[in-house]
């Protein structure tokens, strides 16, 4: 069964999508000496030093969060990430870099954001004529430059938001990490705190779900 | 009707590019720091300074102790079951032997 699943993944050749633009913000090799020093002082009771840690890593967290939650919810989510990080400092062993550890908290906080939103009733946006026109133009793109030009348009972000909104929180989280950011299965598993098998299966299903959503969006399909 | 495989690949690529377009976010970094620290201080006032970190360590300790305790209980249960099985087996064997040697209807 699992083999079938991975054969099908190969057929879809999803790695073709993995552009060489992996988000470096998610992987930093070692905890910086400044961070180590701040962490030591916080553990010794100088908790106000956490403000320095926030200042040092805020951009990093904002970059991760702003790609995952609506603009209006970014501040609230970033706030939650740092509060969670503070209360989880006791669990930071130092085996991974502080940046990486913080990235994991940010990814999981965004995942929780979508889980809580998924539970309640939520307004679901619909594609307009302008979005359909953007899709038709994107389909005619042939060069990298053309793809980039189309991507910069407002409709691009809206169509992406529209498609992701229709995925389950689990599929959304995995698709974002693996297919959109180009993370490896192992990295995605580490950041989400899931098993690699779980991420592999979900990555395959998420991409299939996205393709179904996009197919259904075609004018003939709706 | 939907799209062909090639069209879907193009669409996915366009959306992937869209994902990487940097969002304009004029934010005040100082404000976020103040906000988070306010929340942490309020929480510390409610439960004592540094309680958060301590509770993290305590959580870890509780989980470790619970895991070890569960392993010990499991091992003890397995041993108990084994001992009971062995003793039950012996008594069955003895009973069977007794039946074999004792005449059932007194002849």
Per-residue pLDDT tens for A113-160? 999 987 665 556 788 888 888 888 888 887 878 877 877 788 888 899
The span from the CA of A192 to the CA of A109, in Å, is 10
Query: Is residue A69's pLDDT more than 50?
Result: yes
Task: Give the contacts of A69 (CB within 8 A, at least 6 positions apart).
Answer: A77, A110, A113, A114
Q: Which two tokens stand for residue B4?
A: 């062909």
Q: Is B51 in the A-facing interface, judged by CB distances under 8 Å? A: no
Which is more confident, A55 or B62?
A55
Assess contact for A202 and A171: CB atoms under 8 A: yes
Assess contact for A47 and B49: CB atoms under 8 A: yes
The b-or-e profile of A162-189 (16+ CB within 10 A means b, else e) is bbbbbbebbbbbbbbbbbbbbbebebbb
The span from the CA of A58 to the CA of A64, in Å, is 10
Which is more confident, A102 or A123?
A102
The span from the CA of A12 to the CA of A14, in Å, is 5
Cα dihedral sign, A62-A34-A36-A89: negative
Quote the pLDDT of residue B76: 92
Smallest Cα distance from B48 to chain A, Å: 11
User: Which of B21, B40, B57 faces A151 most closely, judged by CB atoms?
Assistant: B21
Query: Is residue A25's pLDDT more than 80?
Result: no
Task: Give the contacts of B25 (CB within 8 A, at least 6 positions apart).
Answer: A62, A66, A71, A74
Task: Give the contacts of A90 (CB within 8 A, at least 6 positions apart).
Answer: B52, B53, B54, B55, B56, B57, B58, B59, B60
Query: Is residue B56's pLDDT more than 70?
Result: no
> Measuring CA to CA, how many Å separate B7 from each of A15, A129, B32?
16, 19, 43
What average pLDDT does range B20-32 have in this prediction?
77
Quote the pLDDT of residue A128: 87
Task: Find, in chain B, the residue whose alpha carbon is nearest to that of A146.
Answer: B14
> Measuring CA to CA, how many Å separate B96 from each of A222, B83, B92, B103?
77, 20, 6, 12
What are the helix (H) ranges across chain A?
2-12, 33-43, 50-66, 74-87, 98-119, 129-140, 144-151, 154-165, 169-174, 185-192, 196-217
Quote the pLDDT of residue B54: 59
DSSP state letter for A191? H
Quote the pLDDT of residue B103: 61
The lowest-confidence range among A3-7, A35-39, A90-94, B46-50 is A3-7
Query: Is residue B93's pLDDT more than 90?
Result: no
Structure confidence at residue A15 as a pLDDT band (50, 70, 90): very low
Structure confidence at residue B58 as a pLDDT band (50, 70, 90): low
The span from the CA of A48 to the CA of A52, in Å, is 8
Query: Is residue B27's pLDDT more than 90?
Result: no
Quote the pLDDT of residue A108: 96
Assess contact for A169 and A111: CB atoms under 8 A: yes
Query: Is residue A89's pLDDT more than 70?
Result: yes
Quote the pLDDT of residue A218: 76
ipTM: 0.75
CA angle B34, B40, B45 (to 5 degrees): 120
What's chain A's average pLDDT?
82
| Interface contact flag, A91 B7, Cβ < 8 Å | no
Q: Is B50 in the A-facing interface, judged by CB distances under 8 Å? A: yes
The span from the CA of A119 to the CA of A102, in Å, is 26
SS3 content of chain A, % helix, strand, coil (to 5): 75, 0, 25
Q: Could you tell me the pTM of the whole model?
A: 0.70
Task: Give the contacts of A96 (CB within 8 A, at least 6 positions apart).
Answer: A190
Residues of B in contact with A150 (CB under 8 A): 14, 17-18
Smallest Cα distance from A78 to chain B, Å: 8
| Interface contact flag, B53 A148, Cβ < 8 Å | no
């Amino acid at each position: 069964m699992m083999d079938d699943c991975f054969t099908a993944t190969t057929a879809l050749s999803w790695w073709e999508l993995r552009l060489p633009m992996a988000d470096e913000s998610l992987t930093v090799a070692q905890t910086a000496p400044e961070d180590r020093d701040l962490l030591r002082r916080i553990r010794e009771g100088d908790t106000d030093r956490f403000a320095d840690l926030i200042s040092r890593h805020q951009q990093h967290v904002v970059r991760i969060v702003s790609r995952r939650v609506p603009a209006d919810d970014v501040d609230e989510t970033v706030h939650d990430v740092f509060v969670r990080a503070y209360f989880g400092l006791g669990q930071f062993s130092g085996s991974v870099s502080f940046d990486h550890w913080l990235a994991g908290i940010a990814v999981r906080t965004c995942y929780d954001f979508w889980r809580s939103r998924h539970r309640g009733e939520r307004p679901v946006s619909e594609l307009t004529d302008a979005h359909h026109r953007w899709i038709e133009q994107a389909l005619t793109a042939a060069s990298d430059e053309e793809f980039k030009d189309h991507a910069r348009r407002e409709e691009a972000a809206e169509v992406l938001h529209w498609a992701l909104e229709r995925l389950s929180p689990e599929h959304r989280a995995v698709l974002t990490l693996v297919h959109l950011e180009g993370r490896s299965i192992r990295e995605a598993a580490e950041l989400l705190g899931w098993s690699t098998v779980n991420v592999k299966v979900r990555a395959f299903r998420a991409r299939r779900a996205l393709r179904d959503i996009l197919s259904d969006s075609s004018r003939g399909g709706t | 009707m939907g799209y062909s495989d090639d069209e879907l690949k193009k669409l996915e690529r366009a959306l992937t590019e869209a994902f990487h377009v940097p969002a304009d976010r004029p934010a005040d970094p100082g404000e976020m720091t103040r906000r988070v620290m306010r929340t942490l201080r309020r929480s510390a006032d409610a439960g004592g300074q540094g309680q958060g970190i301590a509770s993290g360590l305590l959580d870890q300790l509780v989980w470790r102790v619970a895991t070890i305790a569960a392993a010990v209980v499991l091992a003890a249960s397995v041993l108990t079951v084994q001992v009971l099985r062995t003793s039950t087996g012996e008594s069955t064997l003895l009973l069977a032997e007794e039946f074999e040697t004792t005449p059932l209807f007194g002849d």
